[in-house]
Structure 1
Amino acid sequence: MDAQLPDVEAGKRFYGELFGWTFEPFAPTGAAQGPYGGSVRADLDGKPVASLAPKRDGRMPTVWTVHFATPDAAALVGRVREAGGQVITAPVPLGDYGTTALATDPEGAVFGLWQGAELPGFGVRHGRGSFCWVELYARDTAVADAFYSTLFHDALFGPGTTRDFGRAHVSDVFFAEMPPHFLVHFGVEDCEAALGTVVRLGGRVQAPPFDTSYGHVAVVTDNQGASFALFQR
């Protein structure tokens, strides 16, 4: 997953203090960096957990985007179209790290695809400061169920599946006019204490802590407006 931010350095300070992340550039300073120029990899205890990227166009939202792993991004892009979604960005290589694409579901919720090479995906997850869950907030949950169960059948229902993807009606947490979207959840040991840190660092609370079937959750934004959730299992 990655955050598209107006100020990557400010993002490093915010998430570094909140989650204990450290950062390293995706390409040497001054090198021909291509589409990932200015982006940094976020590590937790030396293992990759996310990336922060500069927002190229001020008209675009400041967001966290989840990327679903696939062995064949080109083939999955075709299945997205067949299932009623749209492709925003066709598969493009990011150096030796892997291949990425950007798509939407039939209701317009944006997600990425990642065909990993040198960077296969998360080095750690389901712990403090790392990915723990992603929730899709949809207007028509039947449409979402049909689309994602077709697209990611093995990941959702296959043998040995670890459940870390859910969906809910958008009005369960947000106002009804909120567009359908994915919300990434980062693990914390104490949700209320983490909320205090978010506010102290310049973020704000969108939804105070509430209980779900999968854990104790609060929805916040960082100091640049990117939304995410704090997750206490």
Structure 2
Amino acid sequence: MKLDEPVTGGPCWTELGTSDLAAAQRFYTRLFGWRPETDPRQEAGGYTIAHLGDAAVAALTPLYQESQPVAWNVSFAVRDADAAVRTVTEAGGTVLVGPMDVFDVGRFAVALDPAGAAFQLWQGRSFPGAGVFNAPGSLGWVELLTRAPERAVVFYTTVFGWSVNASAQYTRWGLDGADFGGMVTMGDTFPPEVPPHWLPYFAVEDVDATAATATAAGGTLLMEPTSVPGGPRIAVLRDPQAAVFGVYRAGDER
């Protein structure tokens, strides 16, 4: 990812909603070396921030609703959450939650794009988002998996003003020439019950070693470590509670 700090319109944070918060903390601490800290306030609902050193890099949370799936979620920075949800609705998306204030740290909303992929909007106040990107153990890329790529291009360029760098092999999202993510069309290899979704990729020093550590810790390897022609070495994993995420070799950002 060419972005190295939260930028309006770009990915700024990622959160895991999980069915077993304690187990997830153990798994990701072993995998990425995170230091989790759970907000002790009752109204925070168990919200846990993972750190690398002093930098916040991601969050882990309990499931707050029965309908909430175990999954990683990606947040995009906006200047005005209320204005952003109006744009989302006008562009054909659906707002599920908010906008609502989170203490004094920011204002957020949860939405679906027209094909049903969930994402979050974050208007940062005292907390703009992750303190580090692209370093081992931190967010370094976000990828939309969808069955409606043409509709996704129209929607996300309207809502966030993204640039689109498309080739026959892959479509990249960017801001002012800085690519931060991409898009994959979900074909027949994806079971019909798998919904469109955003997939975060975390940077690691060694993709193969990380994949081995994940499986030893109870995770599942969904895509073997692979070197993408002209791109990074990557793998896609599922944690023991069934949340899916990707990893890529740090330094391979393009």
TM-score (ref. length: structure 2): 0.84
Q: Return the offset for 1:60.
A: 2.3
| 1:16 pairs with 2:24 | no
**Counterpart in the other structure of 2:205:** 189
Percent of pairs with identical residues: 38
**Counterpart in the other structure of 1:228:** 245
**Counterpart in the other structure of 2:114:** 106
| 1:206 pairs with 2:214 | no
Q: Return the offset for 1:173.
A: 6.5
1:93 & 1:148 partners in 2: Cα distance?
A: 24
Q: Call closer, same or farther: CA 1:215–1:53 in 2, change over 3 Å.
A: same
- Residues 18, 194 of structure 1: 8 Å contact kept: yes
Which region of structure 1 is more displaced relative to structure 2, 146-155 or 184-193?
146-155
Q: Return the offset for 1:224.
A: 1.0
User: Helix, strand or coil for the counterpart of 1:164?
Assistant: strand
Structure 1 residues 38-117: aligned runs within 5 Å? 38-117=46-125
User: Helix, strand or coil for the counterpart of 1:208?
Assistant: strand
Q: Render the CA deviation track for 1:100-141: whole Å, top value 9, x for unaligned.
A: 100010000000011111211010001210001011011121
TM-score (ref. length: structure 1): 0.91
Which region of structure 1 is more displaced relative to structure 2, 36-45 or 100-109?
36-45
Q: Call closer, same or farther: CA 1:173–1:71 in 2, change over 3 Å.
A: farther
Structure 1 stretches of at least 4 aligned residues deviating more than 6 Å after TM superposition: none
Aligned residues: 227
The alignment yields a C-alpha RMSD, in angstroms, of 1.8
| 1:144 pairs with 2:158 | no
Q: Return the offset for 1:208.
A: 1.4
1:13 & 1:73 partners in 2: Cα distance?
A: 33
Q: Render the CA deviation track for 1:143-193: whole Å, top value 9, x for unaligned.
A: 11111111111575543x431111110128634553211110001111111
What amino acid sits opposite 1:167 in the alignment?
Answer: M
Structure 1 stretches of 5 or more lacking a match?
none
- Residues 80, 151 of structure 1: 8 Å contact kept: yes
- Residues 219, 240 of structure 2: 8 Å contact kept: yes
Q: Call closer, same or farther: CA 1:214–1:173 in 2, change over 3 Å.
A: farther
User: Helix, strand or coil for the counterpart of 1:202?
Assistant: coil
- Residues 210, 217 of structure 1: 8 Å contact kept: yes
Q: Call closer, same or farther: CA 1:57–1:166 in 2, change over 3 Å.
A: same
Q: Render the CA deviation track for 1:179-217: whole Å, top value 9, x for unaligned.
A: 211110001111111000000111111121234454222
**Counterpart in the other structure of 2:20:** 7
Structure 2 stretches of 5 or more lacking a match?
1-13, 164-172
Q: Return the offset for 1:230.
A: 1.1
